[in-house]
Chain A
Amino acid sequence: MKISNETIIEMYEKMVKIRKFENRAMNLFAEGQVGGFVHLYIGEEAVATGVCASLRDDDYITSTHRGHGHILAKGGDMKYMMAELFGKESGYCKGKGGSMHIADATKGILGANGIVGAGHNIAVGAGLAAQYKGTDQVCACFFGDASTNQSTFHEGLNLASTWKLPVIFICENNGYGISVSQARHQNITDISQRAVSYNIPGITVDGNDVFAVFEAVQEAVARARKGQGPTLIECKTYRWRGHFEGDPTVYRPEGELEQWKKKDPIPRAEKYILDNQVMTQAEMDQLNAKIDAEVEEAVEFAQASKFPDVASAVLDVYTDIVEEGRTR
């Protein structure tokens, strides 16, 4: 695999960005500065990063309730993300979406999604549009292991396969749907095998190895751009935090988290980078400091922003109609 040092550094930077953003969001939630449902991506950074590093700016992604990582990896701006978590007017969704619904159409981000399984077919639609218009764009569709029990998953794979659509289905298999372990929600361990029924390639990769994800997605994207149809890539990974902030995680067997922490994707990449002199320790420290500053800047930006004017509540239900507001 030919991959430049710049790409390696870029991927490393993305992973660290996600980690630091999420850690900060976690603290802000604990402090009560951020509310609602917040699902963190800590531990799974290599997946979004490896996938989006294989995409162009004009490619699409669909995301999930656990979307911060996907959005950052696809080039989302931390400032607007953070402001959205705060519900501020300057946020990506002007405060209307919150953590679960961040979108950035200019970056091909078709939105985080609060409905488990909703992204599968939206991705199919984006793929259909690319095929219809004859562009070579692709759509990467992120979804969790537990979402593969929704009919939408099966419908989406079937349609994408039948119409040979440029969709890369990325299953983030973190072993749980909220409290229900994979063994209790489906009678298989490798979701990749579900591809067989739809006659598309399905593979399993180490989702905590950014290079493994990157390499697999490169191949799948190349295939999709050539009109050879969709691919299902299952990335085995683990979420370190609870399902949402506030989840006591009583359902986890003892030792499981610690075991997975040993496979932390970030030190793995760091080791590679240092061993192969892609960066020096000093450069790496500098990069980390830069990202720390960026996160702080995002928080300050969010804190300094205003809450939206209530009159805005009735805007954007439609492109044209403005709904009636309140007199109070």
Chain B
Amino acid sequence: MRELTYGQGIKEGMRIKMLENPDVFIFGEDVGLFGGCFGVTSGLFEEFGEKRVRDTPISEGAIIGAAVGAAAVGLRPIPELMFVDFATVGMDQLVNQAAKMRYMFGGKLKLPMVVRLPSGGGVAAAAQHSQSLEAWFTHVPGLKVVYPSNAQDAIGLMLTAIDDDNPVIYLENKTLYAVPGQVEDEVKPIPLGKANIKREGNDVTIITYGKQVYDSLKAAEMLEKDGIDAEVIDLRSLYPLDKEAIFESVKKTHKVVIVSEEAKRGSYAGELAAIIADECFYECDAPIKRVCALNTPIPFSGNLEAYVLPNADDVVEAVKSLF
């Protein structure tokens, strides 16, 4: 075992594949010598050179579009957008092109690309640099979506994502970059669609991913003091989704709280709730609860932002409301 931060884990995953396969390359704004706005690609430019770690102009449409084109003809690009919020600018290329080409063309194409998108609030970056847009991506048939919460998963998911022949949206939480974690010496690829039970429990199932894994674990500890034994599931992969792990847990606990940082309306958390209601309703003996951000843009001021974003207390409160 060794210690790596979440950011280093992401880098490690890319690096392993770049060493292995010359078709894997990185491009995006300031990913080169600067090492990326959050330092995730630092050192890769020096190691692999500017052919494989490329700075692009500020042209999100071109970044995603060029990845689509390069992937269509056989490379395995890893485009990075500096913030998930800028995916809006490249959305046509992602939604109308990347997600649909294979299907429209009758399965004649493969699009092996991994789009890295730093997400989430908590750094006083205000409304246009703090969003959690996973529901947009999970909504689009043709895209796979992963969201690691720790260094080990960051590596494992990256390895699989790069090897995947479909476009994979790789969401990262920017408050986690510096968070250290224990990592196996040789990390194995983590299959997409395989959730991780972070904490076993019998009384309630907390389904979450990304940064909210930490809030949920903290909430579980607090709940324990009140005699509530919570199970915490880190989905890791939002699509494909590990329904089995979810249903297994619900069958055991019969109560569900879903935690995400998205604005609640139209969130992926809502989709999860709907799936459970649809397919596992009779196992539930309480309403399915969502703990999300408020339905507002993310405000700048620290106290407002903290109020809008969900935290461990909100999870505790939601869980308690079920008992």
Q: Measuring CB to CB, which residues of chain A are less than 8 angstroms from any residue of chain B?
A: 35-37, 84, 87-88, 93, 95-98, 100-101, 113-117, 146-147, 149-151, 177-180, 184-186, 250-251, 307-308, 310, 312-314, 317, 323-328
Contact = CB atoms under 8 A, between A and B. Distances in A.
Interface string B277-318: 000000000000000001111011111100110000110010
B127 A96 contact: yes
A114 B126 contact: yes
A179 to B, nearest CB: 4
A308 B297 CA distance: 16
B301 A95 contact: yes
B57 A328 contact: no
Contacts of B86: 115
Interface in B84-107: 85-86, 88-89
Give 4 closest A-B pairs by Cβ, nearest first. Answer: A98-B300, A87-B301, A95-B301, A114-B128
A308 B303 contact: yes
A84 B304 CA distance: 13
A178 B29 contact: yes
A36 B294 contact: no
Nearest to B59: A149
B37 interface: yes
B123 to A, nearest CB: 7
B57 A177 contact: yes
15 contacts: A95-B299, A96-B297, A98-B300, A114-B126, A117-B58, A147-B58, A149-B57, A149-B62, A151-B59, A177-B58, A250-B33, A310-B307, A313-B294, A313-B296, A317-B295
B55 A95 contact: no
Nearest to B129: A114
A179 B57 CA distance: 11
B127 A150 contact: no
A202 B220 CA distance: 62
A101 B300 contact: yes
A328 B317 contact: yes
Contact of B301 (A37, A98, A147): A98
B294 A325 contact: yes
- Chain B interface category by residue count: 35 or more
Best-surrounded residue of A95, A96, A100, A101 (most CB of chain B within 10 A): A96
Contacts of B314: 326, 328
A101 B126 contact: yes
A314 B296 contact: yes
A147 to B, nearest CB: 6
Contacts of A100: 125-126, 128-129
B302 to A, nearest CB: 6
B300 A116 contact: no
In terms of DSSP, what is the predominant structure of the interface of chain B?
loop
B191 interface: no
B153 interface: no
B304 A308 contact: yes
Contact of B299 (A149, A250, A313): A313
Contact of A146 (B58, B60, B128, B301): B58
A36 B300 contact: yes
Contact of B57 (A101, A185, A251, A317): A185
A179 B34 CA distance: 6
Contact of A310 (B29, B295, B300, B304): B304
Contacts of A87: 124, 300-304
B61 interface: yes
A313 B299 CA distance: 7
Best-surrounded residue of B86, B300, B302 (most CB of chain A within 10 A): B300
Contacts of A151: 59, 61
Contact of A180 (B30, B124, B129): B30
Nearest to A312: B304
Contacts of A307: 301-303
Contacts of A37: 124-125, 129
Contacts of A314: 294, 296
Contact of A185 (B58, B299, B303): B58
Contacts of B60: 150
A149 B294 CA distance: 35
B38 to A, nearest CB: 12
Nearest to A147: B58
B313 A328 contact: yes
B58 A149 contact: yes
Nearest to A248: B34
A93 to B, nearest CB: 7
Contacts of B30: 178-180
B85 A115 contact: yes
Contacts of A36: 123-126, 300
A180 B314 CA distance: 42
Contacts of B124: 35-37, 87, 98
Contacts of B88: 115
Given A149-B57, A185-B55, A313-B304, 6 more contacts: A36-B300, A117-B58, A149-B62, A178-B37, A310-B304, A328-B317
